[in-house]
A and B are shown apart, each in its own frame.
Chain A
């Protein structure tokens, strides 16, 4: 296998000393292949931004290493590192025009005037900033400022491009279109990128690989599909998409299936985690879209609708389960289905293939 282009080895960062010490990033390992876009996803305070800033060189690791293209860069100050960052607040130089902002790094590098002009012109066309060269940053819209920030980082042709929640200051619509553009551009140019976000939708649509972080530790690394369908633990399942958790007992183990008992009924799910044994307690992850609702029947789990919300394209239900917990269900195309009102009894069943069983934590 090809050696990873960006490697983090046992990377650790702690702040403060003694009793007040906070470990922001706790011995994480991560490999990023050349041309890949990897997202660091997690709630605020999970250590994702600290990790990114250690890659950029703004934080010095407490221990561990950052390797870019096989070279340890720990001792290299940020201005000498082959990384470029797109900042959350864009960090455009307010006293310079758009052109000067983008040209800043090239000028520092002492590239010739023609070269600067040519490169800046090219990147501005690529990113859709034509005709804005002489504007001041404050004359630009939020989306345009974001592009300038992106152009300023990309024009440096960094080995690794870093994104620090670059879309969090844009409105919802612009966020969706901009993230598609970033993805297209990144794939076209094949830039190795690390992208920090707390928005799971953003992470899913952008990434080759998603890294889920919580409390300074990596919870799971995988493609968006892997993470969504086979979350490693409850935290990941709950953070990536919506999830219901059913507490069940393992009855039988097949070659590729697990049979579980839940409230006196049996549920069959794919066998994924080979460590699970018969008699174990386990958690079944049920995505709301893999729930079926029917009129109550002997072989179905019986529940009571406590809430229903109509969205046009789908119907959201909250159902009280026999064990007293609430379960969320999403029924697509409600026109094709029998609808239930608040207080109705319903029979529940699940799309077997999309269930996921977790060992009891």
Chain B
């Protein structure tokens, strides 16, 4: 985003330069085509459907929706839920991050693992556990009243999304130089004063940004409210029901746009905040972090909260394990493997499809993401900013909106896509690739920007063209980031639900959809068994890729695999 006012001559020169490198030129054209078809066109279709009635532009759909409390209610509900989850989740995440970075707590590694674990499982697994615990046949049935509604949603989404806040805030707190705290104490400030005058103001942009991230995730969550919302209607589920239940594309699209608006606003606020985070260490070498003797009245509440949250996470996931071996949940607690057998009988195809599609999607996304990252951060060409913007767009857009967009865009042949994709595997593959691309690109940009451009210049100076330079020089150096991108993409593909549910079909289906189906039929034990299988597959894949990364990444910057 460096040059906004570029002269025309410069632009022409850039085009000339591009034409001299045909590989680069053609790939840029192909990428633009793909981004237009699979990112911009579907989202445009959602807008179009919500604004057009019988070929005319109108606000009728919006007037209808906003006038009827039946439709406006979900908007408020979604926002209220988002605010609650973001507030509690950020608080929990902050306490965890504080405990890890600022206290001598024991077993930090284990706490870290537990706190990030919900990120590798689909959020609806937590919802399933919630039903097993507090539902009608649950162990603690009735303890929290009716679990189907705001209470259940808040609990489950907090567990599912507090890890996001935790990961964001751990970075923020680590960036605050401990010598600032020492300097403040040296000036006479008490521990509380240090917190309120130094740590809190310095972490505030990060805290707000973490809050917004969780808010976005809660708004976009589909699986949890699908299982747990009861009479508490939220936008993502309502939009889905409008389309699949009532076949009302216009109303579904309108609800989707209402979902999109607060998300996009929150997303850009968050980006803006991050770009302004100026409070890093000013100069000098940061002194090493020293963990001081914390007062007991700070230490123990923090430890207690970490323990409680870790216990809750373990309880929820433990319940899924326990539930998967019971003959009939809440009725007959004989241990059995029957659920697994049944699950396998029904779910074999779902599992095979999911694995096959994810294995196809993952390498394509990895390579494409790295390549776009390379283009964005190292090449000057017309439309570079547009490429960056559109390739990152699906990151901000809730899955429900994307799913609806894909239905609208690919149900019929169009100018951009002359064949119908609905019902094919292509539509699922495309959806997964372009949903997961932004994470790969972000990883890639971060890795590439650590490489001194003069290394690449040296390669070009020695006669290699852009393509050879990328393959022989840049690619080997970004390999660790590449593999962590693969891991990420695989996890996200296997656990995707909100957009996928619109494009699955009889021919091609998905494991997450199958779990939702089991829950829908109150077959909780089979749902639990399948969820566990899903989590095991994901963990296995993460483990394999971690081993590969460790082998390759010796001496190179290592990337943590679990990153949002």
Interface residues of A (CB under 8 A from B): 56-60, 77-80, 83-85, 87-95, 104-105, 108-109, 137-138, 142, 145, 152-153, 156, 169
Does B462 make an interface contact (CB < 8 A)?
Answer: no
Summarize B's interface: helix, strand, loop or mixed.
loop
Which B residues are CB-close (under 8 A) to A88? 179, 284-285, 287
8 Å CB interface, B277-320 against A: 278-287, 290, 292-293
8 Å CB interface, B413-451 against A: none
Select B292's contact among A58, A85, A152, beta carbons within 8 Å: A58
Which A residues are CB-close (under 8 A) to B282? 90, 92, 94, 137-138, 145
The smallest C-beta distance from B201 to any residue of chain A, in angstroms, reads 5
Select B182's contact among A78, A92, A104, beta carbons within 8 Å: A78
**A79–B279 touching, CB < 8 Å:** no
**B180–A91 touching, CB < 8 Å:** yes
Does B186 make an interface contact (CB < 8 A)?
Answer: yes
**A89–B284 touching, CB < 8 Å:** yes
Binds A, one of B80-88, B187-195, B267-275: B187-195
Select B290's contact among A58, A91, A152, beta carbons within 8 Å: A58
**B278–A94 touching, CB < 8 Å:** yes
Does B456 make an interface contact (CB < 8 A)?
Answer: no
Residue in A closest to B191 when the chains form the complex, CB atoms: A79
Does B184 make an interface contact (CB < 8 A)?
Answer: yes
The smallest C-beta distance from A58 to any residue of chain B, in angstroms, reads 6
**How many B residues have CB within 8 A of the partner chain?**
30
**B177–A95 touching, CB < 8 Å:** no
Residue in B closest to A81 when the chains form the complex, CB atoms: B186
Q: How far is the CA of A289 from the CA of B174 in the complex (A)?
A: 50
Which A residues are CB-close (under 8 A) to B202? 94-95
Q: How far is the CA of A93 from the CA of B185 in the complex (A)?
A: 12
Which B residues are CB-close (under 8 A) to A105? 186-189
**B279–A95 touching, CB < 8 Å:** yes
8 Å CB interface, B170-211 against A: 177, 179-180, 182-190, 193, 197-198, 201-202
Most chain B beta carbons < 10 A, residue from A77, A80, A95: A95
0 or 1 for each of B492-518: is its CB under 8 Å from A? (1 = yes): 000000000000000000000000000
Which A residues are CB-close (under 8 A) to B290? 58-59
Residue in B closest to A140 when the chains form the complex, CB atoms: B282
Which A residues are CB-close (under 8 A) to B197? 104
**B186–A89 touching, CB < 8 Å:** no
Known interface pairs A94-B280, A169-B285; A79-B188 also in contact (CB < 8 Å): yes
The contact sample of 14 A-B pairs, CB cut-off 8 A, is A79-B187, A87-B179, A87-B183, A88-B284, A89-B177, A89-B285, A91-B182, A91-B183, A93-B198, A94-B281, A95-B201, A108-B188, A108-B193, A169-B285
Known interface pairs A94-B202, A95-B279, A145-B282; A85-B186 also in contact (CB < 8 Å): yes
**A89–B187 touching, CB < 8 Å:** no
Which B residues are CB-close (under 8 A) to A153? 186
Known interface pairs A60-B293, A94-B278; A109-B182 also in contact (CB < 8 Å): no
**A89–B182 touching, CB < 8 Å:** no
Which A residues are CB-close (under 8 A) to B198? 93
The smallest C-beta distance from A94 to any residue of chain B, in angstroms, reads 4
Which B residues are CB-close (under 8 A) to A104? 184, 187, 189, 197
Q: How far is the CA of A92 from the CA of B179 in the complex (A)?
A: 9
**B188–A89 touching, CB < 8 Å:** no
Residue in A closest to B176 when the chains form the complex, CB atoms: A94
**A94–B279 touching, CB < 8 Å:** yes
Q: How far is the CA of A79 from the CA of B285 in the complex (A)?
A: 23
Most chain A beta carbons < 10 A, residue from B182, B188, B189: B188
Q: How far is the CA of A85 from the CA of B190 in the complex (A)?
A: 16
**A79–B189 touching, CB < 8 Å:** yes
Which B residues are CB-close (under 8 A) to A156? 187-188
Which A residues are CB-close (under 8 A) to B292? 58
**A89–B283 touching, CB < 8 Å:** yes
